[in-house]
Amino acid sequence: MALLQISEPGKSTNPHEHRLAAGIDLGTTNSLVATVRSGSPAVLVDEEGESLLPSVVRYRADAQPQVGRLAVAAAVEDPHNTIASAKRMIGRTTSELKTLHEVLPYRFDNELAKIPRILTADGPRSAIEVSAEILSELKKRAESSLGGELTGVVITVPAYFDDAQRQATKDAARLAGLTVMRLLNEPTAAAVAYGLDQGSEGKYAIYDLGGGTFDISILHLHEGVFEVLSTAGDSALGGDDMDRLIAEWILERCPCELSGNDSEATFLRQLMLVARETKEALTTQESAEVEIDMPGGEKWHTQLDKTTLDSIIDPIIDKSLLPCRRVLRDAGITQDDLDGVVLVGGSTRVPRVRERVETFFRCEAYADVDPDSVVAIGAAIQADILAGNRPADDMLLLDVIPLSLGLEIMGGMVEKIIPRNSTIPVGKAQEFTTYKDGQTAMSIHVVQGERELVTDCRSLARFELRGIPPMAAGSGRVQVSFKVDADGLLSVSAREMTTGVQADVTIKPSYGLTDAEVEQMLRDSIDYAEEDMHARMLAEQRVDADRTIEALVSALEADGEAFLDEEERDRLTAAIDSLRTLREGHDADAIKQSVEALNALSEPFAARRMNAGIHSALAGHNINEFGE
């Protein structure tokens, strides 16, 4: 007799039923969603058969936001409420967006705030909320096509996205009601799609130039293993910048005067759209007609040919080739070691881009898979594996972190714990010690970047380890451990080795999209991050000065008359007084130099005291007593 399986309500009667999962390419210009059906990845389309969803959202008062082509159609007439290129803003502070304001002509809620929120007819909106609207639309498309709720998604991000940008992307997905199984670097997703579809082996450069971001990665493809050897890029470089240069070229020749009011914003948005259309037309034509609706109502015409376009956009291509040189050096290879270069991203459709890339890498550029959809397809393949629809050992992804992670140490310097291009997931630990007698706590400042000074790197988090046993400076042992998960997100812990007391933090700069109290805490930490960093550096120098002064004053009181003449004591006393004065100021470098000068001046005194101590210890003993 056959057994009848009875399942719980809402549970599948077939434990091996295919789980619905999707890969999402959340792009600057366009976004896509793909899935695996009957073992083959495919991009999902909307009711009109369109696969590309323009990454544009229009906000209206007392109405649902418009997403995609409807929003694009309204962009010229309603530029302030129609937000494009949100990906260039996600996870960034207002100060970081200042260089993008020419490309992003929006009105911000508070120009002085660290968290950028764009003023719209439906209220202030952050880039995370804009991205959530796009993801919600893709979710609807996927669930409508697949006929059920998604188990989870894999969302792609530029390889050069930092922790804040990655976490902000996950926050946007959470707002859209999506479960993120993995954040996958875009070049790696492209390699997954390309490698599995073409069965390629060898070393490949993945040149990914999208609408607003650029990534270059060197990958080694071998028997289903995708190993990222190195990665570099620019999270604010792409086709949008080409459009801006074309628009500037048109504006220089257009006989119009900008008024500085809302009509100017409408005209500039139209100019950007015309620039993009002209660029796209010149991918297949030798020349294109440029037509502009002037502010007065009349039309203005000009011609742009392919040769002129090439000269206009060459600076953008030049800028993309700088990371290409660096990524080859980091991977320890030359162009001759490559088996090919894979083109990814809509901007690689421009013939000049392909020509320059092939010249630089000295090998053929492959674009067999649609450059617009290849990233989404790779994400769909990975989502299918993570959902459990196929064996996980079908494919192994060895991704890397794009920027070094480390700690602030004395003097405002950075100690790198995990260097860039380390394969993830990864964990590393390093021991540190106390710097003051009787110290019972340690402040730990986590930073990200390649520069040697904390001021030149990005502050990620601060936390404190308390409960260190009081002991002499340099005697404590504190082990700090860094762990980066498969999404590229970081957690840090600190443990005092003798007592076992521990503190930890998960780096989650979500930019205020949790509950109200956490939101305020995160806002405060961002608003005062720079001031806190400078205050910390100054405090460290003051602590060092106090320690130096305290030790030297104590030594002078004990042995000053015995080992120093009056002139030497006066010089040391004057130097101590000078350091005390500087210590009350705000010039950390001056304090540091004064400490070094005082240490150098006191060296003869310290040497005499040491010699006296040695003589005292040896008095009454024979040297032979200290033999074997």
458 and 559 part of one domain: no
Place of tokens 């957690």: 491
Q: 176-185, 264-273, 479-488, 579-588: which range is least confident on average?
A: 264-273
Nearest residue to 197 via CA among 3, 52, 34 = 34
344 part of a folded domain: yes
DSSP 8-state assignment for residue 586: S
Q: Are residues 45 and 81 located together in one domain of the fold?
A: yes
Condensed to tens digits (0 to 9), the pLDDT of residues 82-105 reads 888 888 888 877 766 665 544 456
Proportion of the chain above pLDDT 90, given as a percent: 12
Judge whether 344 and 375 are in contact, CB under 8 Å: yes
Residue 368 a catalytic site member: no
Decide if 87 is catalytic: yes
pLDDT at 376: 92
pLDDT band per the 50, 70, 90 thresholds, residue 162 = confident
Same domain, 46 and 129: yes
Catalytic residue among 208, 243, 496, 540: 208
Residue 307 domain-assigned (yes or no): no
- Centroid of chain to Cα 201: 30
Cβ contact 233:402 at 8 Å: yes
Instruction: Show the CA angle centred on residue 542, arms to residues 539 and 547, nearest 5°.
Output: 125
Q: What pLDDT does 356 receive?
A: 93
Sign of CA dihedral 8, 9, 13, 19: negative
Decide if 575 contacts 601 (C-beta within 8 A). yes
Radius of gyration of the CA atoms of the chain, in A: 30
Side-chain half-sphere exposure of 127, counting CA atoms within 13 A: 28
* CATH number of the domain residue 423 falls in: 2.60.34.10
Looking at residues 75-79, what average pLDDT do you find? Answer: 79
Q: Choosing from 129, 133, 186, 234, which is the catalytic residue?
A: 186
pLDDT over 90 at 135, yes or no: yes
Domain end residue (candidates: 347, 374, 400)? 400
- Ramachandran region, residue 100 (left: φ > 0; alpha: ψ -120 to 50; beta: rest): alpha
Q: Which of 87, 114, 483, 508 is catalytic?
A: 87
Q: What is the pLDDT of residue 628?
A: 47
Q: What is the mean pLDDT of residues 205-229?
A: 81
Check which CATH number belongs to the domain holding 316 and give it.
3.30.420.40
β-strand partners of 490: 484
Instruction: Report residue 513's pLDDT band, with 50, 70 and 90 as the boundaries.
Output: very low
Q: Rounded mean pLDDT of 188-204?
A: 72
* Residue 14 to residue 150: CA distance in whole angstroms: 17
Domain-located, residue 346: yes
**Number of Cβ within a 10 Å radius of residue 232:** 25
Instruction: Considering only residues 225 and 586, tell me which one the structure prediction assigns the higher pLDDT.
Output: 586
Overall average pLDDT of the 57-61 stretch: 88
C-alpha closest to that of 432 among 440, 444, 421: 444
Any bridge partners for residue 56, and if so which? Answer: 84
523 part of a folded domain:
no
Regarding whether 64 and 121 lie in a shared domain, the answer is yes
Residues 217 and 146 in one domain: yes
CA distance 577 to 589: 17
Residue 439 lies in a domain: yes
3-state percent helix, strand, coil for the chain, nearest multiple of 5: 40, 25, 35
φ, ψ dihedrals at 609, nearest 5°: -65, -40
State mean pLDDT over 27-40.
88
Domain extent for 463? 405-512
Q: pLDDT at position 25, please?
A: 93
List pLDDT tens digits, range 418-477.
887 777 778 888 888 876 777 888 888 888 877 777 777 777 888 888 888 888 777 778
pLDDT tens readout for residues 271-328: 888 888 888 888 888 888 888 877 666 788 888 889 999 999 999 999 999 889 988 9
199 and 95 in a common domain: yes
Q: Please spell the DSSP secondary structure of 136-197, one letter per residue.
A: HHHHHHHHHHHTS--SEEEEEE-TT--HHHHHHHHHHHHHTT--EEEEEEHHHHHHHHHHHH
Q: How many Cβ atoms sit within 10 Å of the Cβ of residue 27?
A: 28
Predicted pLDDT at 265:
67
Residue 422, token pair as written in the block: 């380390």
Sign of CA dihedral 137, 141, 147, 151: negative
Judgement on whether residues 355 and 210 belong to the same structural domain of the protein: yes
Q: Residue 198: which pLDDT band, with cuts at 50, 70 and 90? A: low
Indicate whether 118 belongs to any domain: yes
What pLDDT does residue 561 have? 79
Give the mean model confidence (pLDDT) for residues 20-46.
89
Q: Residue 20: is it exposed, middle or buried by C-beta count within 10 angstroms (0-12/13-18/19+)?
A: buried
Last residue of a domain, one of 346, 377, 400: 400
Residue 48 pLDDT: 87
Look at residues 193, 203, 240, 208 and name the one whose alpha carbon lies nearest to residue 88: 240
* Residue 39: pLDDT band with limits 50, 70, 90: confident
Amino acid (one-letter) located at 144: S
Annotated catalytic residue, options 25, 171, 234, 372: 25
Q: Please, which pLDDT band fits residue 567 given cuts at 50, 70 and 90?
A: confident
Q: In the prediction, which pLDDT does 618 show?
A: 62
Q: Which residues contact 580 (CB under 8 A, 6 or more apart)?
A: 545, 549
The overall average pLDDT reported for the chain is 79
Please indicate whether residue 186 is annotated as part of the active site.
Answer: yes
| Peptide bond preceding 425 in cis form (omega within 30 of 0) | yes
Assigned token pair, 444: 């730990």
Say how many domains are in the chain: 3
> What is the sign, positive or negative, of the torsion defined by CA atoms of 95, 96, 101, 102?
positive
What are the distances in angstroms from CA 548 to CA 571, 579, 580? 16, 10, 10
Q: Which of 480, 512, 544 is the last residue of a domain?
A: 512
461 shares a domain with 317: no
Reading the block at residue 146, the tokens are 């697949």
Contact (Cβ atoms closer than 8 angstroms) between residue 127 and residue 58: no
E strands, 272-332, are 287-293, 299-305
Mean of the pLDDT values across residues 257-278?
Answer: 74
pLDDT at 11 over 60: no
Look at the pTM and tell me if it is higher than 0.75.
Answer: no
- For residue 146, pLDDT beyond 80: yes
Retrieve residue 492's tokens. 């840090």
Residues 486 and 362 in one domain: no
- pLDDT of 231: 82
Q: What is the pLDDT of residue 310?
A: 92
The least confident of 122-131, 152-161, 319-328, 619-628 is: 619-628
For residue 4, pLDDT over 60 is answered with: no
**Is 208 one of the annotated active-site residues of the chain?**
yes
Which pLDDT does position 507 carry in this prediction? 67
Residue 7, pLDDT above cutoff 60: no
Looking at the structure, tell me whether residues 325 and 437 fall in a common domain: no
Residue 1 pLDDT exceeds 50: no
pLDDT, average across residues 393-416: 72
Work out the percent of the chain whose per-residue pLDDT is above 70: 80
The contacts of residue 562 (CB under 8 Å, 6+ apart) are 612
Q: Quick one: 206 and 96 in the same domain?
A: yes
What is the model's pLDDT at position 33? 94
Asked if residue 111 and residue 190 are part of one domain, the reply reads: yes
In terms of phi and psi (left: phi > 0; alpha: psi -120 to 50; beta: otherwise), the region of 564 is: beta
What's the pLDDT at 154?
Answer: 93
CA distances from 553 to 226, 302, 435, 472, 521 (A): 62, 80, 19, 18, 42
Residue bearing the bigger pLDDT, 193 or 264: 193
Instruction: Report pLDDT digits (tens) over 493-507.
Output: 888 888 888 887 776
pLDDT at 300: 83
Give the angle subtended at the CA of 94 by the CAs of 91 and 95, to the nearest 5°: 110
User: Alpha-carbon distance 490 to 446, whole Å?
Assistant: 10
Q: Does some domain include residue 96?
A: yes
User: Does residue 298 lie within any of the structural domains?
Assistant: no
Q: What is the pLDDT of residue 379?
A: 92
